[in-house]
Amino acid sequence: MATPMFRFDPVDLPPEALAMRAEVREFIKEHQHLMGFSRGEFNRDFSRAMGKRGWIGMTWPKQYGGHERSAFERYVVIEEMLAAGAPLSAHYTGDRQSGPNILRFGTEEQKQFFCPKIAAGELTFCIGMSEPNSGSDLAGTRTRAVKVDGGYKINGSKLWTSNAHRADYAILFCKMAGDGKEEPDRHAGATQFLLDLKLPGIEIRPVLNLLGEHHFNEIFLTDVLVPDNRLLGKEGNGWNQVTSELAFERSAPDRFLVLFQMLREMVRMAGLDPDRATAAALGKLIAQLATLRSMSLSIAGMLHEGLQPNNESAVVKDLGTRYEQDIPVVARQLFPVEPELEAVETYVSMIARSTMNAPRFSIQGGTREILRGIIARGLGLR
Ligand SMILES: Cc1cc2nc3c(=O)[nH]c(=O)nc-3n(C[C@H](O)[C@H](O)[C@H](O)COP(=O)(O)OP(=O)(O)OC[C@H]3O[C@@H](n4cnc5c(N)ncnc54)[C@H](O)[C@@H]3O)c2cc1C
C-alpha cells in the first residue's frame, strides 16, 4: 500500500477539551472591555491574566511552568480567544513557538529561566528571522555571529520584526562568520540565539504598516555581545531548529480565525431570511471554515502525538490565508459600503481594516509561493 502523502485524520475533541469552552467564554465575558475587532492586539495585563488561569504554555511540563494539559484543551482556549478578538500578541509568539523551541533545543538553565516567565504572561518574545534581501530565502541571512571570549559578537539587521519594540527577547536567526569563502551548503553555520533586546548595540526602528500602525520593526545589531548561555541549541544546527520553529508558527488556528468576527457580522447583516445568492456565499464561507477547522484539529492531534506535521501545516496555512483574503472580497460583493477606518458603524470600519490587512495574511509566516513549494515537496513533486 502506498504511504499517504498527507495525514488529516478526523479528530473529535475529547470531553475535557469541550468542557473548557464554557470556562473560556466566562473569562472572555469578564474581560469584554478588551475584546473586539479593532482594539489593540497587545496587552500585557491580559496575557498575565491568561497566565494566571494556566492558559499559556498549557501543554508544557509542570517543572517548566507548564500545565501538562492536552493540545486539544489548548486548541479550544485559542479558538475561543481568537473568535472573540482577544489581545493575544504579548504572549502568543512565546506560547506558540519560542517556548516550544526552547523546550526542544534549550539547556536546562534556559528552560528554567524562560519557560515559566512565558507561561506566566510576563515575558514577550518576537521572531528575528527576516532581513532585507532574505525573507523567503532565510538561508541567505547576512547577520553574522563571531565567537569571542565568554560569548558571541553579532552584527547585522532584521526586518519586519513584529512587536520587537515591546518584546523582551527575540529568537535571532543568523550564521557563524566563516572564513569568507563561499560555503557549498547554504544552511551551514546557521545558529539561533536568545537575544535580550535591551543589550547594548541594538537599535529598533519602527516600520509602519498599510494601516499606518506601528506593528513591525527593523532591528540593527552593532557588535552586540551575547553571552555563551544564550546560544540556543548548537552552533550550526540553526536550520534544523528554525524549520521546527516555523512548523509551530504555521500550525495554529490563527491562520483562519482572525476575521471570524467579520464573518459573524456578515451573518448578522444577512438576517434570518437572506436571498439565495447571499445564503450561498455565506454558506460557502462557513463550510470552508468548518473544513479548515477539521484540518487544523487534525494537526493538533498530530502535535498531541509528538509528530511534526510540517507539510500539513503548510497546507492549512496556505488554504487558511486564501480563505481570510476571500472574506473581505465576499463582504464587499454582498454588502457594499465605502470603507472608512474610523467609522462608528462596526461593519464599515471592519471592511476598511480587513481589506488593508488582507495582503499580509499570505506573506507573514512564509509566502504563498514558498508554502506551495513545501507542499510540492511533501507530494514528492520536487
Ligand atoms: C504582517 C507581517 C508580520 C511579519 N512579522 C515577522 C516577524 O515577526 N519576524 C520575521 O522574521 N519576519 C516577519 N515578517 C516577514 C515575512 O516572514 C517575510 O515578509 C516573508 O517571509 C517574505 O519575505 P520578503 O518580504 O523578503 O519577500 P521576498 O522573499 O523578497 O519575496 C517577494 C516575492 O517573491 C516570491 N518568492 C520569493 N522566493 C521565491 C521562490 N523561491 N519561488 C517562488 N516565489 C518566490 C515571494 O513569494 C513573494 O511573493 C512579517 C511579515 C508581515 C507581512
Residue 182 has pLDDT above 90, yes or no: no
Return the higher-pLDDT residue of 208 and 344: 208
For residue 70, what are the CA distances in angstroms to 102, 179, 283? Answer: 19, 47, 32
Give yes or no: residues 212 and 306 share one domain: no
Give yes or no: residues 347 and 277 share one domain: yes
What's the whole-model pTM score?
0.95
Q: What is the pLDDT of residues 64-74, one digit of tens each?
A: 999 999 999 99
Q: What is the pLDDT of residues 302-333, one digit of tens each?
A: 888 888 888 899 999 999 999 999 999 999 99
Question: Which of 197, 363, 375 maximizes ligand 1 atoms within 8 Å of its Cβ, making it the mutation to test the pocket?
Answer: 363
The residue whose C-alpha atom lies closest to atom 44 belonging to ligand 1 is: 369
* Residue 109 in domain: yes
The residue whose C-alpha atom lies closest to atom 41 belonging to ligand 1 is: 370
What's the structural domain count of the chain? Answer: 3
Domain encompassing residue 91: 15-123
The predicted structure's pLDDT at residue 39 = 63
Give yes or no: residues 372 and 265 share one domain: yes
The residue whose C-alpha atom lies closest to atom 20 belonging to ligand 1 is: 135
Ligand 1 atom with the smallest distance to the CA of 162 is 8
Give yes or no: residues 133 and 118 share one domain: no
Residue 143 has pLDDT above 50, yes or no: yes
CATH number at residue 327: 1.20.140.10
Q: What is the pLDDT of residues 8-57, one digit of tens each?
A: 999 999 999 999 999 999 999 999 998 987 666 899 999 999 999 999 99
* Residue 179 in domain: yes
Give yes or no: residues 140 and 228 share one domain: yes
Phi, then psi, of 270 in degrees rounded to 5: -65, -25
CA–centroid distance, residue 2 to ligand 1 (Å): 35
The residue whose C-alpha atom lies closest to atom 50 belonging to ligand 1 is: 364
CA separation for the pair 79, 83 (Å, rounded)? 6
Query: Does residue 153 come out as left (phi exceeding 0), alpha (psi in the -120 to 50 range) or beta?
Result: beta
Give yes or no: residues 173 and 230 share one domain: yes
Give yes or no: residues 24 and 92 share one domain: yes
* Residue 282 in domain: yes
* Residue 246 in domain: no
* Residue 245 in domain: no
Give yes or no: residues 26 and 87 share one domain: yes
Ligand 1 atom with the smallest distance to the CA of 373 is 42
Q: 209, 236, 263: which is the final residue of a domain? A: 236
Give yes or no: residues 92 and 185 share one domain: no
Would you tell me how many other CB atoms lie within 10 Å of the CB of residue 157? Answer: 17
* Residue 7 in domain: no
Binding pocket residue ranges, ligand 1, CB within 6 Å: 126-130, 135-137, 160-162, 216, 360, 363-364, 366-367, 369-370
Q: What is the mean pLDDT of the chain?
A: 93
* Residue 309 in domain: yes
CATH number at residue 32: 1.10.540.10
Apex CA 281: angle with CA 279 and CA 282, to 5°? Answer: 65
Phi, then psi, of 54 in degrees rounded to 5: 80, 30
Give yes or no: residues 333 and 366 share one domain: yes
Report, as an integer, the average pLDDT of 96-111: 96
Q: 205, 236, 267: which is the final residue of a domain? A: 236
Q: What is the pLDDT of residues 114-130, one digit of tens each?
A: 999 999 999 999 999 99
CATH number at residue 221: 2.40.110.10
Ligand 1 atom with the smallest distance to the CA of 209 is 1
Q: Which three cell numbers stand for residue 326?
A: 476571500
Residue 252 has pLDDT above 80, yes or no: no
Q: Which three cell numbers stand for residue 367?
A: 509566502
* Residue 111 in domain: yes
